[in-house]
Chains A and B, each alone.
Chain A
Amino acid sequence: MRDVAIIGVGLTKFGERWDSSIKELMAEAGLAALQDANITSKDINAIYGGSMTPGRFIGQEHVAALMADQLGLGNIPATRVENACASGGSALRQGYMAVASGIHDIVVVGGVEKMTDVSTSEATTALGGAGDQEWELFQGITFPGLYALMARRHMHDYGTTEEQLAAVAVKNHANAYKNKYAQFHKLITIDEVLNSKKVADPLKLLDCSPITDGAAAVVLAPLEIAKKYNDTPIKIAASEQASDTLRLADRESITSIKAARISAENAYRHAGVTPKDIDVAEVHDCFTIAEIIAMEDLGFFKKGEAAKAIEEGRTQINGDVSVNTSGGLKGCGHPVGATGIKQAVEITWQLRGEAEGRQVDGAEIGLTHNVGGSGATAVVHVLKRAD
């Protein structure tokens, strides 16, 4: 087993990309990553592609092969990875394992989702496939519905308030404001969140991440040769993943995502760090409640105390831990399959000192947290500056 580093990253602008098809999105991100890594196509040995459901959004499957094709990568092995909203993070782990094991040397990992060619209700139905199709989606329990059930229980068990949920969205919009790749460049207030259209109470429109088109890509290499390509390679100090029951109803608890807790514990152990050591984190805020639960699952705050901490500003840029500096899923956007990769891109920029306008001072250790569905999959990576 050898150490793995990120030597190049690339991202498209996230948003309603009417102008771009899935091919153009993947090419845009992929090209940027290859240029950032200063690497030629023939040096790439394999590609992993994360995308949740291009088949239902645009009728296109087989997207990893498509990525290899769009980037002119020749006849390398191309594999699509799907774990709902954790497709990106899962693809990253597959790429990591390929390099760490020695089977491949240089690997591209991409994530993409093209969501805006269908109506909102069709998109809602497609995303519902992340949950249990027979018992959750079949009964009309949408994705926001599932997280609303978690939110209501969290409010009942810990006294979390709707204002505290709103504080997550406000912070992430403030961060996105400074991120030129983000979908939204609009500051919002607590009141605006509270007064936004009800989706599934207690969640309102501004508690929910949007529907977004976008792609992200990273280039991985063995750490021992990384400096050939990049002066500040970012080491993947830990890449951990866990699964849990598909149905929310089957979980031990609906106010915590066990798969995330397990992944985080394993990641901290592997990386030789504790939650206090994390300077900057990109977490899966598909809904505001998800960020609160993530703070607790990742050990940044005790169970039941995260909401207040967020409200007090302790997770703002340069706070106790800077969370979702990119704007998170809420502010930056959530092209499902791309998100897990985008998180790695953002942490890479932070650790390199390249996060324009939203740089965390002296960031050395970062974390990404990517969740599939209501928690049936979770992937946690710990990244460190390797120089």
Chain B
Amino acid sequence: MEKSPADLWRHVKSRYFLLGSVCENCGTKYFPPRVVCRKCGRNTKMKPYKFNGTGEIYSFTTIRAPADEFEEQAPYTVGLIKLDEGPIIEGHILTDESNEPIKIGTRVKVAFRKMYKEGNEGLIYYHYKFVPAPEQQKKQEKSKQKRA
């Protein structure tokens, strides 16, 4: 289904640099941004909040039967990422033979890539994606060892 330029434009900040929201009434952070805080209802006090883009893999799968518009990229790996600030979000995970096989718990960080383009004349949709962050994995393992 073709999307309108307005739809792309509305999503630029959240898709490009993980702009979400935080409810200043209770401190809960949300991605994607939303209007109403689930906990505070009418006492919602929502403000923009930029996520760092670091987190760990909560679940993942490699999709081989792609959706429309994703036929070029198939197979591709998608996952649920638990961001360090709390929320779990959906994202592509860029993984291949050059990194350690990913698993639940692998540390990741954010990258900037194309999601897809509308044919040869339409708009190009850019988006965050995640890449394994082995340097963070090492840091995390070191701090776990220290605590043990």
Contact = CB atoms under 8 A, between A and B. Distances in A.
Chain A bound to chain B: yes
Interface of A: 120-122, 124-125, 128, 134-142, 144-145, 148-153, 156, 197-203, 247-250, 254
Nearest to A203: B61
A139 B91 contact: yes
A66 to B, nearest CB: 24
A203 B90 CA distance: 19
Contacts of B115: 138-140
Contacts of B80: 149, 248-249, 254
A153 B61 contact: no
Interchain residue pairs A-B with the least CB separation, the first 3:
A148-B61, A140-B70, A153-B59
A247 B1 contact: no
A200 B104 contact: no
Given A134-B32, A152-B104, A141 B63 contact: yes
A148 B92 CA distance: 14
Q: Which of B69, B80, B127 has the most CB of A within 10 A?
A: B80
Contact of A128 (B11, B61, B67, B76): B67
B4 to A, nearest CB: 13
B89 interface: yes
Contacts of B104: 152-153, 156
Given A121-B66, A249-B80, A145 B58 contact: no
Given A150-B59, A250-B88, A199 B65 contact: yes
A151 B60 CA distance: 10
B15 to A, nearest CB: 9
B6 to A, nearest CB: 13
Interface in B1-42: 1, 11, 32
B85 interface: no
A200 B63 contact: yes
Contact of A137 (B58, B67, B92): B67
Interface string B106-143: 00000000011000000000010000000000000000
Contact of B32 (A120, A125, A135): A135
B interface: dominant SS: strand
B63 A145 contact: yes
A249 B82 CA distance: 9
A199 B92 CA distance: 16
B90 A142 contact: no
Contacts of B71: 121
Given A149-B60, A152-B60, A153-B58, A140 B88 contact: no
Of B61, B64, B115, B127, most buried by chain A (CB within 10 Å of CB) is B61
B59 A149 contact: yes
Contacts of B91: 139
Contacts of B61: 145, 148-149, 151-152, 200-203
B99 interface: no
A373 B71 CA distance: 23
18 contacts: A121-B67, A125-B67, A125-B68, A139-B91, A140-B67, A142-B67, A144-B65, A149-B79, A153-B104, A156-B59, A198-B62, A199-B63, A200-B63, A201-B61, A201-B64, A248-B80, A248-B90, A249-B89
Contact of A124 (B1, B67, B73, B79): B67
A133 B66 CA distance: 15
Contacts of B63: 140-142, 144-145, 148, 199-200
Nearest to B73: A140
A165 B62 CA distance: 17
Contact of A200 (B64, B73, B88, B127): B64
Given A152-B60, A156-B104, A250-B88, A142 B65 contact: yes
A250 B66 CA distance: 23
Nearest to B76: A140
B78 interface: yes
A136 B89 CA distance: 10
A142 B32 contact: no
A199 B75 CA distance: 10
Nearest to B58: A153
A199 B68 contact: no
B35 to A, nearest CB: 14
Contacts of A254: 58-59, 80
Contacts of B78: 139-141, 145, 149
A122 B62 contact: no
Contact of A121 (B59, B68, B87): B68
Nearest to A135: B90
A140 B59 contact: no
A249 B89 CA distance: 6
Contact of B127 (A128, A139, A198, A203): A139
A135 B32 CA distance: 8
Contact of B90 (A121, A139, A201): A139
B92 to A, nearest CB: 6
